[in-house]
Amino acid sequence: MATTTLDGSATTDSLIALEDAHGAHNYHPLDLVIERAEGAWVWDVEGRRYLDCLSAYSALNQGHRHPRILAALVEQASRVTLTSRAFRNDQLPAFCAELAALCGLDVVLPMNTGAEAVETAIKAARRWGHRVKGIPDGEAEILVFANNFHGRTTTIVGFSTEAAYRDGFGPFAPGFRVLPFGDLDAVRDAMGPRTCAVLFEPIQAEAGILLPPDGFLRGLRALCTERNVLMIADEIQTGLGRTGRTFACDHEGVRPDAYVLGKALSGGFYPVSAVVARRDVLDVFGPGSHGSTFGGNPLGCAVARAALGVLRDERLAERSAELGAWLLRALRGIAHPDVVEVRGRGLLIGMQLRVPARLYCEALQARGVLCKETHDTVIRLAPPLVVGRDDLAWAAEQFAAVFAG
Protein backbone atom coordinates (compact mmCIF):
# COMPACT_ATOMS: atom_id res chain seq x y z
CA MET A 1 0.00 0.00 0.00
CA ALA A 2 1.41 3.40 -0.98
CA THR A 3 2.24 5.86 1.79
CA THR A 4 2.01 9.64 1.33
CA THR A 5 4.51 11.68 3.32
CA LEU A 6 4.06 15.41 3.91
CA ASP A 7 7.59 16.76 4.22
CA GLY A 8 6.85 20.48 4.13
CA SER A 9 7.31 20.79 0.39
CA ALA A 10 3.65 20.19 -0.46
CA THR A 11 1.83 23.15 -2.02
CA THR A 12 -1.78 24.25 -1.92
CA ASP A 13 -2.34 22.97 -5.45
CA SER A 14 -0.70 19.59 -4.85
CA LEU A 15 -2.63 18.97 -1.64
CA ILE A 16 -5.94 19.98 -3.22
CA ALA A 17 -5.23 17.64 -6.13
CA LEU A 18 -4.42 14.78 -3.73
CA GLU A 19 -7.62 15.35 -1.75
CA ASP A 20 -9.73 15.60 -4.90
CA ALA A 21 -8.26 12.34 -6.19
CA HIS A 22 -8.85 10.29 -3.05
CA GLY A 23 -11.41 12.13 -0.89
CA ALA A 24 -15.18 12.00 -1.29
CA HIS A 25 -16.55 15.21 -2.82
CA ASN A 26 -19.22 15.93 -0.22
CA TYR A 27 -17.93 19.46 0.54
CA HIS A 28 -17.11 22.55 -1.52
CA PRO A 29 -14.42 24.22 0.59
CA LEU A 30 -12.59 27.42 -0.19
CA ASP A 31 -9.33 26.64 -1.94
CA LEU A 32 -6.78 27.12 0.79
CA VAL A 33 -5.01 24.47 2.88
CA ILE A 34 -4.64 25.32 6.56
CA GLU A 35 -1.46 24.09 8.22
CA ARG A 36 -1.55 25.68 11.68
CA ALA A 37 -3.72 27.90 13.85
CA GLU A 38 -3.74 29.89 17.06
CA GLY A 39 -6.48 31.93 18.70
CA ALA A 40 -8.57 33.53 15.96
CA TRP A 41 -5.94 33.12 13.23
CA VAL A 42 -4.91 30.36 10.82
CA TRP A 43 -1.99 29.97 8.39
CA ASP A 44 -1.95 28.09 5.09
CA VAL A 45 0.86 25.89 3.78
CA GLU A 46 2.44 28.88 2.01
CA GLY A 47 2.50 30.85 5.27
CA ARG A 48 -0.34 33.27 4.49
CA ARG A 49 -2.33 34.35 7.55
CA TYR A 50 -6.13 34.56 7.73
CA LEU A 51 -8.66 35.66 10.34
CA ASP A 52 -11.00 32.72 10.94
CA CYS A 53 -14.55 34.09 10.88
CA LEU A 54 -16.26 30.69 10.78
CA SER A 55 -14.87 28.91 13.89
CA ALA A 56 -15.63 25.48 12.42
CA TYR A 57 -19.34 26.35 12.57
CA SER A 58 -19.02 27.53 16.21
CA ALA A 59 -16.96 24.57 17.43
CA LEU A 60 -14.07 26.94 18.15
CA ASN A 61 -15.76 29.45 20.43
CA GLN A 62 -12.66 29.28 22.66
CA GLY A 63 -10.35 29.82 19.68
CA HIS A 64 -7.85 27.52 18.04
CA ARG A 65 -5.60 25.50 20.35
CA HIS A 66 -6.58 27.24 23.56
CA PRO A 67 -3.63 26.48 25.89
CA ARG A 68 -5.80 25.51 28.84
CA ILE A 69 -7.79 22.97 26.83
CA LEU A 70 -4.63 21.71 25.14
CA ALA A 71 -3.04 21.12 28.53
CA ALA A 72 -6.09 19.15 29.69
CA LEU A 73 -5.98 17.04 26.51
CA VAL A 74 -2.28 16.24 26.90
CA GLU A 75 -2.54 15.51 30.61
CA GLN A 76 -5.52 13.19 30.22
CA ALA A 77 -4.08 11.48 27.13
CA SER A 78 -0.99 10.62 29.19
CA ARG A 79 -3.18 8.71 31.68
CA VAL A 80 -6.15 7.04 29.97
CA THR A 81 -8.15 7.91 26.84
CA LEU A 82 -10.89 5.30 26.53
CA THR A 83 -12.58 2.84 28.84
CA SER A 84 -15.94 2.41 27.10
CA ARG A 85 -18.99 2.57 29.33
CA ALA A 86 -18.45 -1.06 30.31
CA PHE A 87 -16.32 0.45 33.10
CA ARG A 88 -16.46 3.74 34.98
CA ASN A 89 -13.85 6.49 34.62
CA ASP A 90 -12.84 9.36 36.89
CA GLN A 91 -13.73 12.20 34.47
CA LEU A 92 -17.33 11.35 33.60
CA PRO A 93 -18.93 12.09 37.01
CA ALA A 94 -17.53 15.62 37.24
CA PHE A 95 -18.34 16.33 33.59
CA CYS A 96 -21.97 15.33 34.07
CA ALA A 97 -22.32 17.31 37.30
CA GLU A 98 -20.73 20.46 35.86
CA LEU A 99 -22.73 20.41 32.63
CA ALA A 100 -26.02 19.70 34.41
CA ALA A 101 -25.37 22.65 36.72
CA LEU A 102 -24.57 24.94 33.80
CA CYS A 103 -27.84 23.99 32.11
CA GLY A 104 -29.95 24.09 35.25
CA LEU A 105 -31.18 20.57 34.53
CA ASP A 106 -30.74 17.15 36.10
CA VAL A 107 -29.16 14.51 33.90
CA VAL A 108 -26.50 14.36 31.17
CA LEU A 109 -26.18 11.70 28.48
CA PRO A 110 -22.83 12.18 26.66
CA MET A 111 -22.30 11.27 23.03
CA ASN A 112 -19.74 12.30 20.39
CA THR A 113 -21.14 14.26 17.45
CA GLY A 114 -24.02 16.68 17.31
CA ALA A 115 -26.06 14.42 15.06
CA GLU A 116 -25.66 11.58 17.58
CA ALA A 117 -26.95 13.84 20.32
CA VAL A 118 -29.97 14.84 18.22
CA GLU A 119 -30.71 11.17 17.51
CA THR A 120 -30.44 10.51 21.26
CA ALA A 121 -32.92 13.30 21.99
CA ILE A 122 -35.35 11.90 19.41
CA LYS A 123 -35.18 8.43 20.95
CA ALA A 124 -35.66 9.85 24.46
CA ALA A 125 -38.62 11.97 23.36
CA ARG A 126 -40.39 9.06 21.68
CA ARG A 127 -39.88 6.70 24.61
CA TRP A 128 -40.92 9.45 27.06
CA GLY A 129 -44.04 10.02 24.98
CA HIS A 130 -44.91 6.33 25.17
CA ARG A 131 -43.92 5.53 28.77
CA VAL A 132 -44.66 8.83 30.54
CA LYS A 133 -47.29 10.60 28.46
CA GLY A 134 -49.08 7.42 27.41
CA ILE A 135 -48.87 7.78 23.62
CA PRO A 136 -49.35 4.38 21.92
CA ASP A 137 -46.01 2.81 20.99
CA GLY A 138 -44.95 3.80 17.48
CA GLU A 139 -47.39 6.71 17.21
CA ALA A 140 -45.48 9.59 18.84
CA GLU A 141 -45.03 12.73 16.73
CA ILE A 142 -42.30 15.37 16.98
CA LEU A 143 -42.87 18.89 15.68
CA VAL A 144 -39.98 20.48 13.78
CA PHE A 145 -39.53 23.63 11.70
CA ALA A 146 -38.92 24.52 8.07
CA ASN A 147 -35.29 25.36 7.23
CA ASN A 148 -34.10 23.27 10.17
CA PHE A 149 -30.62 21.80 10.35
CA HIS A 150 -30.13 19.14 13.02
CA GLY A 151 -27.54 16.88 11.36
CA ARG A 152 -26.98 14.46 8.51
CA THR A 153 -28.29 11.06 9.57
CA THR A 154 -31.07 9.53 7.50
CA THR A 155 -33.63 10.13 10.26
CA ILE A 156 -32.70 13.80 10.55
CA VAL A 157 -32.48 14.64 6.85
CA GLY A 158 -35.85 12.97 6.46
CA PHE A 159 -37.51 15.99 8.08
CA SER A 160 -35.26 18.59 6.43
CA THR A 161 -36.88 21.01 3.97
CA GLU A 162 -33.64 21.37 2.00
CA ALA A 163 -33.97 19.25 -1.14
CA ALA A 164 -30.22 18.66 -1.49
CA TYR A 165 -30.08 17.09 1.97
CA ARG A 166 -32.81 14.56 1.10
CA ASP A 167 -32.18 13.75 -2.57
CA GLY A 168 -31.68 10.01 -3.05
CA PHE A 169 -31.43 9.13 0.66
CA GLY A 170 -34.96 7.84 1.28
CA PRO A 171 -37.02 6.09 2.50
CA PHE A 172 -37.23 8.25 5.60
CA ALA A 173 -38.53 7.65 9.10
CA PRO A 174 -42.08 8.86 9.82
CA GLY A 175 -43.18 10.68 12.94
CA PHE A 176 -42.19 14.30 12.21
CA ARG A 177 -44.35 17.26 11.27
CA VAL A 178 -42.76 20.36 9.73
CA LEU A 179 -44.11 23.80 10.66
CA PRO A 180 -43.20 27.37 9.66
CA PHE A 181 -40.34 28.63 11.84
CA GLY A 182 -41.49 31.24 14.34
CA ASP A 183 -45.21 30.62 13.83
CA LEU A 184 -46.67 30.05 17.30
CA ASP A 185 -50.23 29.65 15.99
CA ALA A 186 -49.06 26.82 13.72
CA VAL A 187 -47.48 25.09 16.71
CA ARG A 188 -50.65 25.50 18.76
CA ASP A 189 -52.78 24.05 15.98
CA ALA A 190 -50.41 21.15 15.34
CA MET A 191 -50.07 19.97 18.94
CA GLY A 192 -52.26 16.97 19.56
CA PRO A 193 -52.51 14.06 21.98
CA ARG A 194 -49.72 12.19 20.13
CA THR A 195 -47.26 15.11 20.14
CA CYS A 196 -44.35 14.16 22.36
CA ALA A 197 -41.87 16.98 21.61
CA VAL A 198 -40.97 20.12 19.72
CA LEU A 199 -37.40 20.10 18.39
CA PHE A 200 -36.08 23.53 17.43
CA GLU A 201 -33.05 25.78 16.99
CA PRO A 202 -33.46 29.08 18.88
CA ILE A 203 -31.70 30.72 15.91
CA GLN A 204 -31.45 28.82 12.64
CA ALA A 205 -27.75 29.14 11.89
CA GLU A 206 -27.30 26.88 8.86
CA ALA A 207 -30.41 28.36 7.28
CA GLY A 208 -28.79 31.79 7.19
CA ILE A 209 -28.95 33.16 10.76
CA LEU A 210 -32.74 33.30 10.95
CA LEU A 211 -34.15 34.70 14.20
CA PRO A 212 -37.72 33.93 15.28
CA PRO A 213 -40.06 36.78 16.27
CA ASP A 214 -39.61 38.20 19.76
CA GLY A 215 -41.65 36.20 22.22
CA PHE A 216 -41.70 33.02 20.15
CA LEU A 217 -39.55 31.03 22.57
CA ARG A 218 -41.57 32.20 25.58
CA GLY A 219 -44.77 31.25 23.80
CA LEU A 220 -43.36 27.89 22.83
CA ARG A 221 -42.35 27.24 26.43
CA ALA A 222 -45.87 28.06 27.64
CA LEU A 223 -47.50 25.83 25.02
CA CYS A 224 -45.23 22.88 25.79
CA THR A 225 -45.95 23.19 29.51
CA GLU A 226 -49.69 23.49 28.92
CA ARG A 227 -49.88 20.51 26.55
CA ASN A 228 -47.34 18.27 28.32
CA VAL A 229 -44.96 18.31 25.36
CA LEU A 230 -41.16 18.24 25.64
CA MET A 231 -39.38 21.43 24.56
CA ILE A 232 -36.03 20.33 23.07
CA ALA A 233 -33.56 23.07 22.15
CA ASP A 234 -30.84 22.20 19.65
CA GLU A 235 -28.13 24.61 20.81
CA ILE A 236 -25.27 22.82 19.08
CA GLN A 237 -24.35 25.97 17.14
CA THR A 238 -26.05 28.67 19.19
CA GLY A 239 -25.10 27.51 22.68
CA LEU A 240 -22.10 28.04 24.94
CA GLY A 241 -21.72 31.78 24.47
CA ARG A 242 -22.06 32.16 20.72
CA THR A 243 -25.06 34.54 20.75
CA GLY A 244 -23.99 36.62 23.74
CA ARG A 245 -25.62 34.47 26.42
CA THR A 246 -24.72 30.99 27.64
CA PHE A 247 -27.61 29.65 25.60
CA ALA A 248 -29.68 31.41 22.94
CA CYS A 249 -32.82 30.44 24.89
CA ASP A 250 -31.55 32.72 27.68
CA HIS A 251 -32.40 35.79 25.59
CA GLU A 252 -36.06 35.14 26.40
CA GLY A 253 -35.51 33.71 29.86
CA VAL A 254 -36.59 30.25 28.71
CA ARG A 255 -35.33 26.89 29.94
CA PRO A 256 -36.21 23.92 27.73
CA ASP A 257 -36.84 20.41 28.99
CA ALA A 258 -33.72 19.26 27.16
CA TYR A 259 -30.69 20.86 25.54
CA VAL A 260 -28.79 19.24 22.69
CA LEU A 261 -25.16 20.39 22.82
CA GLY A 262 -21.96 19.77 20.87
CA LYS A 263 -19.34 21.71 18.88
CA ALA A 264 -17.88 24.23 21.40
CA LEU A 265 -18.45 21.71 24.19
CA SER A 266 -14.92 20.51 23.43
CA GLY A 267 -13.39 23.75 22.16
CA GLY A 268 -12.45 22.21 18.82
CA PHE A 269 -10.18 19.50 20.22
CA TYR A 270 -12.30 16.36 20.23
CA PRO A 271 -15.86 15.36 19.33
CA VAL A 272 -18.04 15.72 22.43
CA SER A 273 -21.81 16.15 22.50
CA ALA A 274 -24.53 15.64 25.05
CA VAL A 275 -28.23 15.70 25.79
CA VAL A 276 -28.96 17.47 29.07
CA ALA A 277 -32.50 17.08 30.35
CA ARG A 278 -34.94 16.66 33.18
CA ARG A 279 -34.52 13.42 35.05
CA ASP A 280 -37.83 11.95 33.87
CA VAL A 281 -36.82 12.50 30.24
CA LEU A 282 -33.50 10.65 30.34
CA ASP A 283 -34.61 8.09 32.93
CA VAL A 284 -36.50 6.37 30.11
CA PHE A 285 -33.16 4.83 29.12
CA GLY A 286 -32.10 1.69 30.95
CA PRO A 287 -28.98 -0.43 30.52
CA GLY A 288 -28.73 -1.69 26.96
CA SER A 289 -31.35 0.69 25.50
CA HIS A 290 -28.86 3.25 24.17
CA GLY A 291 -25.12 3.73 24.15
CA SER A 292 -21.87 4.65 22.45
CA THR A 293 -18.39 3.16 22.74
CA PHE A 294 -16.73 6.57 22.80
CA GLY A 295 -19.54 8.57 24.44
CA GLY A 296 -18.47 9.75 27.88
CA ASN A 297 -14.85 8.65 27.39
CA PRO A 298 -12.34 10.15 29.85
CA LEU A 299 -10.39 12.10 27.23
CA GLY A 300 -13.52 13.77 25.88
CA CYS A 301 -14.83 14.51 29.37
CA ALA A 302 -11.53 16.08 30.49
CA VAL A 303 -11.40 18.23 27.37
CA ALA A 304 -15.04 19.32 27.75
CA ARG A 305 -14.53 20.25 31.39
CA ALA A 306 -11.60 22.48 30.41
CA ALA A 307 -13.60 23.97 27.52
CA LEU A 308 -16.49 24.86 29.84
CA GLY A 309 -14.05 26.36 32.31
CA VAL A 310 -12.62 28.64 29.62
CA LEU A 311 -16.08 29.83 28.62
CA ARG A 312 -16.87 30.65 32.24
CA ASP A 313 -13.57 32.12 33.42
CA GLU A 314 -12.91 34.23 30.32
CA ARG A 315 -16.53 35.44 30.24
CA LEU A 316 -16.81 34.58 26.57
CA ALA A 317 -20.60 34.98 26.42
CA GLU A 318 -20.29 38.56 27.65
CA ARG A 319 -17.46 39.14 25.21
CA SER A 320 -19.62 37.81 22.37
CA ALA A 321 -22.46 40.17 23.30
CA GLU A 322 -20.20 43.22 23.30
CA LEU A 323 -18.15 42.44 20.21
CA GLY A 324 -21.14 41.10 18.30
CA ALA A 325 -23.13 44.30 18.81
CA TRP A 326 -20.15 46.32 17.56
CA LEU A 327 -19.60 44.12 14.49
CA LEU A 328 -23.30 44.11 13.63
CA ARG A 329 -23.31 47.94 13.60
CA ALA A 330 -20.15 48.05 11.49
CA LEU A 331 -21.48 45.64 8.87
CA ARG A 332 -24.87 47.34 8.74
CA GLY A 333 -23.01 50.51 7.81
CA ILE A 334 -21.99 48.96 4.47
CA ALA A 335 -24.28 50.38 1.79
CA HIS A 336 -24.26 48.27 -1.38
CA PRO A 337 -27.02 47.16 -3.75
CA ASP A 338 -26.04 43.50 -3.28
CA VAL A 339 -26.65 43.67 0.49
CA VAL A 340 -30.24 43.02 1.53
CA GLU A 341 -29.87 42.72 5.31
CA VAL A 342 -27.37 42.08 8.08
CA ARG A 343 -28.86 40.16 11.01
CA GLY A 344 -27.65 38.24 14.01
CA ARG A 345 -27.11 38.05 17.72
CA GLY A 346 -23.76 38.08 19.50
CA LEU A 347 -20.98 36.86 17.23
CA LEU A 348 -23.39 34.91 15.02
CA ILE A 349 -24.11 37.16 12.05
CA GLY A 350 -25.52 36.64 8.57
CA MET A 351 -25.19 39.02 5.65
CA GLN A 352 -28.06 38.39 3.26
CA LEU A 353 -27.19 39.17 -0.37
CA ARG A 354 -29.14 39.44 -3.61
CA VAL A 355 -26.43 37.46 -5.40
CA PRO A 356 -24.51 34.25 -4.68
CA ALA A 357 -22.30 34.79 -1.63
CA ARG A 358 -19.47 32.52 -2.80
CA LEU A 359 -17.81 35.23 -4.90
CA TYR A 360 -17.69 37.61 -1.94
CA CYS A 361 -16.31 34.86 0.32
CA GLU A 362 -13.55 34.25 -2.20
CA ALA A 363 -12.80 37.97 -2.41
CA LEU A 364 -12.62 38.15 1.38
CA GLN A 365 -10.28 35.15 1.42
CA ALA A 366 -7.95 37.03 -0.93
CA ARG A 367 -7.86 39.83 1.66
CA GLY A 368 -7.18 37.47 4.57
CA VAL A 369 -10.67 36.93 6.01
CA LEU A 370 -12.23 33.46 6.06
CA CYS A 371 -15.99 33.06 6.12
CA LYS A 372 -18.38 30.81 4.24
CA GLU A 373 -21.60 31.05 2.33
CA THR A 374 -24.70 29.26 3.53
CA HIS A 375 -27.93 28.75 1.62
CA ASP A 376 -26.22 30.28 -1.41
CA THR A 377 -26.88 33.96 -0.72
CA VAL A 378 -25.85 34.43 2.93
CA ILE A 379 -22.35 35.11 4.27
CA ARG A 380 -22.13 33.55 7.72
CA LEU A 381 -19.77 35.14 10.25
CA ALA A 382 -18.94 33.39 13.51
CA PRO A 383 -15.40 34.26 14.62
CA PRO A 384 -13.93 32.71 17.76
CA LEU A 385 -15.20 34.48 20.87
CA VAL A 386 -11.59 35.21 21.88
CA VAL A 387 -11.09 37.39 18.80
CA GLY A 388 -9.60 40.82 19.44
CA ARG A 389 -11.55 44.03 18.90
CA ASP A 390 -8.77 45.33 16.65
CA ASP A 391 -8.93 42.13 14.59
CA LEU A 392 -12.67 42.56 14.11
CA ALA A 393 -12.18 46.19 13.13
CA TRP A 394 -9.65 45.08 10.53
CA ALA A 395 -12.09 42.42 9.25
CA ALA A 396 -14.85 45.04 8.96
CA GLU A 397 -12.46 47.15 6.86
CA GLN A 398 -11.93 44.19 4.53
CA PHE A 399 -15.70 43.75 4.15
CA ALA A 400 -16.06 47.44 3.34
CA ALA A 401 -13.27 47.22 0.77
CA VAL A 402 -14.71 44.14 -0.92
CA PHE A 403 -18.15 45.72 -1.25
CA ALA A 404 -16.61 48.98 -2.44
CA GLY A 405 -14.94 46.86 -5.00
| CA distance linking residue 95 with residue 220, whole number of Å | 30
Question: Is 145 in a helix, a strand, or coil?
Answer: strand
Q: Cα 103 to chain center, whole Å?
A: 16
**Do residues 197 and 176 touch, judged by C-beta distance below 8 A?**
no
Q: Angle at Cα 61 formed by Cα 57 and Cα 66, nearest 5°?
A: 125
Q: Cα 287 to chain center, whole Å?
A: 29
| CA distance linking residue 251 with residue 326, whole number of Å | 18
Active-site positions read 149, 234, 263
- Give which of 282, 219, 289, 286 is closest to 254, Cα–Cα: 219
What's the chain's length in residues?
A: 405
Sheet-wide strand order for 176-179: 107-111, 273-277, 258-261, 230-234, 195-200, 141-145, 176-179
Beta bridge partners of 39: 64
**Do residues 142 and 176 touch, judged by C-beta distance below 8 A?**
yes
**Do residues 53 and 62 touch, judged by C-beta distance below 8 A?**
no
